[in-house]
Amino acid sequence: MRTKIIAGNWKMNNDKKATAILIEQLEENLQNTNGRLIIAPPFTHLEQSVALTKGSKLEVAAQNMHQAISGAFTGEIAAPMLQSINVRTVILGHSERRTYFNETNHALAEKVQTALDYDMDVIFCFGEVLSERKEGKHFETVKQQLEEALFGLEAAAWKKIILAYEPVWAIGTGETASPEQAQEMHAYIRQVIASKYGAQVANTVSILYGGSVKPSNAADIFQQKDVDGGLIGGAALKAEDFLAIAKAI
């Protein structure tokens, strides 16, 4: 059975005090939540968050990392640094990293391999922009992103991979892919993986939906056969909303 996952990407939000308050609010209300719950605060609050969630159901992930393990890369963070503060999961390939920081599929392939070398779980993000969806290229785009970034991996490595499909046109816009659109793409993703690695890998990898998930639409999205949870943005910054989404899985 595939693991159900709700991951909250806090992006560049919350100072130290706000981080502590939000984690406290989450911790107080984790009852009746299902699956694996992950939060991804900014780098400056990762160690604090790990300490505050010790012994909790909540896990802490990083929002990004560099492919090198050390060196002259000002402002970057390496896998050994994350491990040293007990962060074992990292988000890679988020659409904002691709758009604003020009991350390519080939660079992401290197990042994924480094994370796996350090026994980290990877939440790998991918998805099409609005023009690609309108031109009917969304399947082609998604397939290329998967092939170029992940298809160099051995089948066993997929045990550490969590996929997060992001229709970029539905992030922060208030637009959301319909449950049927989400299911169509998630089913296609499994077909693409099965064509390379076989049905067992395809049917065991968790695929999250990431695109303006909120309490009002979460249940409809999560009831789709091939949707295994969500990568949550704005709603992850409000404990009540994040918990309501977690209870909908």
The reported pLDDT for the residue numbered 126 is 98
pLDDT level of residue 8 (50, 70, 90 thresholds): very high
Gap between the Cα atoms of 101 and 12, Å rounded:
14
Say which of 94, 103, 132, 186 is annotated catalytic.
94
Look up 106 and say whether it is catalytic. no
Residue 248's nearest CA partner among 225, 226, 216 is 216
Q: Which domains does the chain have, with CATH numbers?
A: 5-247 (3.20.20.70)
The reported pLDDT for the residue numbered 174 is 65
Say which of 59, 128, 166, 186 is annotated catalytic.
166
Overall average pLDDT of the 49-76 stretch:
97
Mean pLDDT of the chain: 96
> What's the pTM value of the predicted model, to 2 decimals?
0.97
The reported pLDDT for the residue numbered 169 is 82
Cβ contacts of 67 within 8 Å, gap of 6 or more? 107, 110, 111, 113, 114
The reported pLDDT for the residue numbered 172 is 66
Tell me: the pLDDT tens digits for 136-186? Answer: 999 999 999 999 999 999 999 999 999 999 998 877 666 668 999 999 999
Structure tokens that stand for 232 in this block = 């949550």
